[in-house]
Structure formats: structure tokens, C-alpha cells
Amino acid sequence: MTEKINAIRGMNDILPDEAGLWEHFEDAVRDWLHAYGYRAIRTPILERTELFVRSIGAVTDIVEKEMYTFVDELNGESLTLRPEGTASCVRAAIEHNLLYAGPQRLWYWGPMFRHERPQKGRYRQFHQVGVEALGYAGPDIDAEHIVMCARLWRNLGVEGIALELNTLGGAEARTRYRARLVKYLERHHDALDADSKRRLHSNPLRVLDSKNPDMQGLIEGAPKLADDLDEDSLRHFEDLQGKLRAAGVAFELNPRLVRGLDYYNGAVYEWVTGRLGAQGTVCAGGRYDGLIAQIGGKPAPACGFAMGVERLLDLMKGGTASVPRRVPDVYLVHQGEAADRVAGTVAEHLRDREISVLLHCGGGSFKSQLKRADASGARFAVIVGDDEAQAGEVSVKPLRELAKQARVSLEEAVDLIKKDEMR
């Protein structure tokens, strides 16, 4: 036998049994975004590498070691499979002058790619739903984003997701803080691990994000950004907290929350759960007021967030939320020459009347076809034998209740099936 070919590690197939849950999630997400007036934007999966280097930052885990980057041999250009959606969304908004028409509430959805070590909840191809508000200074819109997340968790029936909040302040405050932090870290140079030594001058704030247990004492004792914060950021942050309290959204302040992407400033947040093991962040975001200018647009404030779809679905699977299985209304059973000729037409007629039909293909006895009908989950079998075909009729057999099979005209069959739908 020829050797089989498997999928790439960390890149998952979503099989039909699971696809129902994904569709249920996608439908809920679309309704939710519509309720808040967000409009969809779709951007290519492949972008120029430079876009991510300039936005996410050259000295970040994502850019340093997680991107799928290759050279397009036709023109020597370096291209990258998108590791996240914010950069592409902002690039597209600039390129097509979307902000000329006023601020934009946008959303996107799709696969992202990061070359991480795969484990439960962490994949190399994963999916995000992202929301971006471009041209809004906040904090009303920051609050809207958080409140809308809280509503989505309720709509999906997922529990146990907590909100952690921090502010990174404006650029000047961060420069001041950075200088203080570097001094502190330099004083403790010998206690730094290799990663932190490397980051000490290129991206010292990320040292605070280290998960290395040996570094935790040092991090605890580090100067706090809160002491350097500028008045504008503080007011924005206070205001945001007030709005969340008014909306009844609980949160916890986490001064160590710095985020792994460089474009953030001001308020940032993560939605975390203890129910997924090590990969407990299901959604994250914040303000990125400098990004639009940084990638060539006219300066404008912005903020947004993205959720990890696989992680949320895992929570839904582990929770009490029930996911309806999508089944056809009718399984169409047919046997005999005359019946085979009309079966397709009967199915199309039913579909014209908005009845979903699984047409049996591949022949077989009535008995074996009815077995398939039962397994399909359909509510009815519509049976066409040669007798029915000649009389221009069909037999309707309810599959989910003990009711008699009825031989009727096609129009009567439509009525019977529709009447059941109304019940």
C-alpha cells in the first residue's frame, strides 16, 4: 500500500462530528456582532513579513521564533502566514482609506499561524474571532468591547471566565518606566535567565512576562509601571473601570499583564479560565493608539481584541451548553426504475419549499435505505417506489414518532412535513 500522508503537527482537521459545534459557534458570533453594529472585513492569509515585524515588534516571541515565513522565489519578497489579525485589519483600513468615512467598527474571523510547540489549547494553525474599533479614543469603546465579550460568554453558555485588566500608559510614561526597569534589571543581571538577558535592552517589559519560576521573586520586586503613569492614561483607566462596574462586569487588576505584542498602550486585558490547563487565556486585547501611524496611516486611536476559537469551544464542550445537531428534514428513499427517474425531481421540489432533503444515492433495498434514513437523524423518510412514481405520489414515514406512514400527493407531503415543523 502507498504510504499515507498526514496533516502537519499542530494543524487540525475539523471533522463533521465536530463541525456542528463550530457552525453553532459561528452563528452565535455573527448574531452577536450584528447586535453591536460591527461589520466584517476579510484580508489575505499571507502578508508581507515587514507588516508583522513593524506592528507586533521585532523583539517578540511571535516575530522572533513563531512566524511561518518564506521567500517568494518569483520576486524575492519575504512573506508570512498571518500570526494574528490586527495588523492585516489595520493595513487594509489604511490601504483603502476606510477611516476617511469616519471611525470603523470591524471584525474578522479565520485561521492564524504560529510555530509554537503544540499542546492542548495551543496549535500551529488556530482560529481567532477578532474585533477592532479604529478611530475611537475611548474609554466608552474599550468598555463596549469588554461588555460585549461578557455577553458572548453568556450567549454561549460558558462559565468561569475571569477578566484581568491593566494599563500600559502612554508612550512617555512607558519610556520613563522602561529606564527605571532597565536600571533595576541591570542591578540583578546575574539572576536573569538567558531570555531575559537578551531582552534586557531590546524589550525589557517582556521580562516581566517570564513564566520561569526562578525569575518570579525578581519580577515581584521590580518597579511598578503604575508609579510612572501619565494623567491621561490614569483617567482613561479609571473611567473604564467605572463603566465596567456600572455594567456589572467583574474584573481584577493585574499590574503584571503586559501582553506579548508590542503595539499596545493604555488599557489592556485578558479573559482567563482555570478550566483549560496551561493555555487559559481565551480572549485578549486592548488599546493600540500608535499602530495606525506606525504602519503608514494618518494617526488615529484604536483598540480591539481577539478570542481563540479552539479554546472557547473546549470550554463549551466541557460545559452544560447544549449544541443542537443539524439534521435534514427528509431522507429520500427510492427504488425501482420509474422511482429512480423521479427521485431527484421530488427532492428538488421539496427543497423549493424550503425542506432540506438528503437524497439516497447508491441503490440498495428499501430496508437498507430506511436504516440509513434512521441514522441520518431526519424527521421523515419520503419513500418513492415504482407504484408511487406511476401515481405521482409519495409515502411519508415519520421517523421520530410512532405514527403511521401515509401515501399522499407531493403537495400533501409538503404540508405534512411543514405542519410537523410548526409544532
Binding-site ranges for ligand HAM (CB under 6 A): 84-86, 114, 116, 121-123, 126, 128, 130, 132, 260-261, 281-285, 288, 304-308, 310-311
Question: In whole angstroms, how close is the CB of 48 to ligand HAM at the nearest point?
Answer: 17
**Which residue, judged by CB position, is nearest to ligand HAM in the bound state?**
308
Q: How far apart are the first and last CA of the chain?
A: 53
Question: In whole angstroms, how close is the CB of 121 to ligand HAM at the nearest point?
Answer: 6
| Contact of 311 with 361, CB cutoff 8 Å | no
By beta-carbon proximity to ligand HAM, the closer residue of 82 and 334 is 82
Question: In whole angstroms, how close is the CB of 9 to ligand HAM at the nearest point?
Answer: 12
| Contact of 128 with 80, CB cutoff 8 Å | no
Question: In whole angstroms, how close is the CB of 172 to ligand HAM at the nearest point?
Answer: 22
d(CA 95, CA 48): 14
Question: In whole angstroms, how close is the CB of 80 to ligand HAM at the nearest point?
Answer: 14
Lookup: cell for 41: 472585513
Question: In whole angstroms, how close is the CB of 261 to ligand HAM at the nearest point?
Answer: 6
DSSP one-letter string for 132-150: EEET---SHHHHHHHHHHH
Question: In whole angstroms, how close is the CB of 55 to ligand HAM at the nearest point?
Answer: 9
By beta-carbon proximity to ligand HAM, the closer residue of 26 and 412 is 26
By beta-carbon proximity to ligand HAM, the closer residue of 278 and 375 is 278
Element (H, E) at 183: helix 171-187
Question: In whole angstroms, how close is the CB of 174 to ligand HAM at the nearest point?
Answer: 17
By beta-carbon proximity to ligand HAM, the closer residue of 116 and 230 is 116
Element (H, E) at 239: helix 231-247
By beta-carbon proximity to ligand HAM, the closer residue of 57 and 130 is 130
d(CA 17, CA 237): 44
d(CA 244, CA 385): 64
Place of cell 496551561: 278
By beta-carbon proximity to ligand HAM, the closer residue of 209 and 230 is 209
By beta-carbon proximity to ligand HAM, the closer residue of 86 and 241 is 86
| Contact of 333 with 383, CB cutoff 8 Å | yes
d(CA 130, CA 106): 8
Taking each continuous run of H as one helix and of E as one strand, the counts in the chain are: 15, 16
By beta-carbon proximity to ligand HAM, the closer residue of 38 and 123 is 123
Question: In whole angstroms, how close is the CB of 305 to ligand HAM at the nearest point?
Answer: 5
- HEC profile of 87-103: HHHHHHHHHCCHHHHCC
Cα 301-266-214 angle, rounded to 5 deg: 140
By beta-carbon proximity to ligand HAM, the closer residue of 160 and 344 is 160
Q: Count the helix, strand and coil residues of the chain and give each as a percent rounded to the nearest 5.
A: 45, 20, 35
